[in-house]
């Protein structure tokens, strides 16, 4: 069993450190954020990630997992030093490498024994060389030998522990094949496919993978707009496409667009890298453009129904950038809430876990943070579904209809069947959904009901009107 340091105790670092400890290694997680480390030392989680707390507790109890703000303490005896610090978007839209260079400098100042530096942060192609140079130039103990191995992380928040423990692949890249082999041995217990390549290729695999996933989302969102105009249903189109193994069924969900700390920043950084290399990355730029437009779509759909948002009360269900996380970084909800407020609406928002992170991102001047989904919808003119938490899928349409001032649902994640919601008396808009029994409508047009649907709807509506709020 190995002695490992993990620098950066965020979504990636904490999961990596904890899972490596759970595999029997002794791990010390280092972070410069004293509040985060104090919180972890108290046994509390600084982030929400399903299954992580139990795993942290188990490994802390087994004395395999430790937390510190001290590099001297954290690097002591470490054979492997993982760098998992944040690489946000810089002002020029490239990757901001300040945290990586600071971590490399701190390693150089404190490393007094041979070690392998494993870069988990997503870093522009060639950054492994930069880390190497910084450490070499500033080594406090010049006799120390080290190698740098790129090991990009592919986990997704919300399923991070499972993704780490059962990865589709582990990618390792280094000029030093022996060092890469030693890192590969750390991962052997996972019985995963391990790909060993050169440093630049490993770094590029991460960017290319995220750019491809983001492209799938922007592609299906563009198809959704086409479906909406032509009367086809994007959900069924995606199912039909997904049967083709060359396409695959994942990441074909039309909605409010991607968010989070990775897709946008990585597509942007890759585009920046390509442009700096003299290329014109037109597809990457289109992916971002479509995604930015997509965030406005739900607000535009509501505006088309109401005519104006001034004075309207809008319930926003879901704030985190995806379910099962509290992460608000680049969450579509931020743009959506800001657009609603800018147009004069008041917002009643609810998210099962992201309330505090949302408050930090959005403030509370124009937003009321509510206790649950029904509380948010009470007396609202419309509900906009932004994050597809499971609990929203299980709502009772009649109960919802009865507590709202006006029955409008803008389903930014296509979690409901249009027929079900319309039968319950709602004016319903999804993203790229066929309005069966209705004539196809564009964003601006009110749906025109076919006679059979009208009859069904009015029966359902009469029934719904008798339902009292619980």
Catalytic residues: 262
9 binds ligand NAD, rule: CB under 6 A: yes
328 binds ligand NAD, rule: CB under 6 A: no
CA distance 222 to 224: 5
104 binds ligand NAD, rule: CB under 6 A: no
**Nearer Cβ to ligand NAD (237/358):** 358
Measuring CA to CA, how many Å separate 75 from each of 7, 38, 68, 79, 220? 9, 19, 10, 9, 46
**Nearest approach, Cβ of residue 430 and ligand NAD (Å):** 27
Single out the residue of 4, 6, 7, 254 in contact with ligand NAD (rule: CB under 6 A).
7
**Nearest approach, Cβ of residue 78 and ligand NAD (Å):** 14
**Nearest approach, Cβ of residue 280 and ligand NAD (Å):** 25
324 binds ligand NAD, rule: CB under 6 A: no
CA distance 122 to 151: 9
**Nearer Cβ to ligand NAD (10/318):** 10
- Count of residues in contact with ligand NAD, rule CB under 6 A: 28
155 binds ligand NAD, rule: CB under 6 A: yes
8 binds ligand NAD, rule: CB under 6 A: yes
Contact 160, 52 (CB under 8 A): yes
- The DSSP call for residue 188 is G
Could you report how far apart the first and last alpha carbons of the chain are, in Å?
A: 56
Q: Which of 427, 451, 420, 458 is nearest to 437 (CA)?
A: 451
* 43 CB-side CA count, 13 A: 6
**Nearer Cβ to ligand NAD (120/388):** 120
Measuring CA to CA, how many Å separate 377 from each of 385, 390, 395, 426? 11, 17, 12, 13
153 binds ligand NAD, rule: CB under 6 A: yes
| 432 φψ region: left (φ > 0), alpha (ψ -120 to 50), beta (else) | left
Could you tell me the sign of the dihedral formed by the alpha carbons of 244, 249, 255, 258, in that order? negative
**Nearest approach, Cβ of residue 257 and ligand NAD (Å):** 17
12 binds ligand NAD, rule: CB under 6 A: yes
**Nearest approach, Cβ of residue 348 and ligand NAD (Å):** 29
Residues found near ligand NAD in the complex (CB under 6 A): 7-13, 30-33, 36, 84-87, 99, 102-103, 106, 120-122, 153, 155, 157, 261-262
């Amino acid at each position: 069993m190995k002695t490992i340091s993990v620098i950066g105790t965020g979504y990636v670092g904490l999961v990596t450190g904890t899972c490596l400890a759970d595999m029997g290694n002794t791990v010390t997680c280092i972070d410069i954020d004293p509040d985060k480390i104090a919180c972890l030392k108290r046994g509390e989680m600084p982030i929400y990630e399903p299954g992580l707390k139990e795993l942290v507790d188990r490994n802390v109890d087994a004395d395999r997992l430790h937390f510190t703000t001290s590099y001297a303490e954290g690097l002591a005896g470490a054979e492997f030093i993982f760098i998992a610090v944040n690489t946000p978007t810089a002002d020029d839209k490239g990757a901001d490498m300040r945290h990586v260079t600071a971590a490399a400098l701190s390693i150089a100042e404190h490393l007094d024994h041979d070690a392998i530096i494993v870069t988990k942060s997503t870093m522009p192609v060639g950054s492994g060389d930069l880390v190497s140079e910084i450490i070499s130039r500033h080594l406090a103990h010049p006799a120390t030998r080290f190698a740098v191995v790129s090991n990009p992380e592919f986990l997704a928040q919300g399923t991070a522990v499972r993704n780490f423990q059962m990865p589709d692949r582990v990618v390792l890249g280094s000029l030093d094949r022996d060092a890469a082999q030693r890192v590969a041995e750390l991962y052997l217990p996972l019985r995963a496919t391990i790909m060993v390549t050169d440093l630049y290729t490993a770094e590029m695999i991460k960017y290319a993978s995220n750019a491809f996933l983001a492209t799938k989302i922007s592609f299906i969102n563009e198809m959704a707009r086409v479906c909406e105009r032509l009367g086809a249903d994007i959900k069924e189109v995606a199912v039909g496409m997904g049967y083709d193994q060359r396409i695959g069924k994942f990441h074909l969900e039309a909605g409010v667009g991607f968010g989070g700390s990775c897709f946008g920043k990585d597509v942007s950084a890759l585009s920046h890298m390509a442009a700096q290399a003299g290329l014109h990355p037109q597809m990457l730029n289109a992916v971002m453009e479509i995604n930015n437009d997509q965030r406005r779509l739900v607000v535009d759909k509501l505006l088309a129904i109401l005519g104006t948002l001034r004075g309207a009360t809008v319930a926003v269900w879901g704030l985190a950038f995806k379910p099962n996380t509290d992460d608000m970084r680049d969450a579509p909800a931020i743009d959506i809430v800001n657009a609603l407020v800018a147009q004069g609406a008041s917002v009643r928002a609810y998210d099962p876990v992201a309330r505090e992170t949302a408050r930090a991102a959005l403030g509370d001047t124009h937003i009321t943070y509510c206790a649950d989904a029904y509380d948010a919808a009470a007396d609202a003119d419309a509900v906009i579904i932004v994050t597809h938490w499971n609990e929203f899928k299980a709502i009772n349409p009649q109960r919802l209809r009865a507590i709202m001032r006006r029955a409008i649902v803008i389903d930014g994640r296509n979690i409901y069947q249009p027929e079900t919601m319309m039968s319950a008396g709602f004016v319903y808009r999804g993203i790229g959904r066929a309005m069966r029994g209705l004539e196809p409508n564009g964003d601006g047009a009110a749906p025109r009901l076919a006679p059979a649907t009208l009859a069904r709807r009015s029966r359902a509506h009469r029934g719904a009107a008798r339902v009292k709020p619980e």
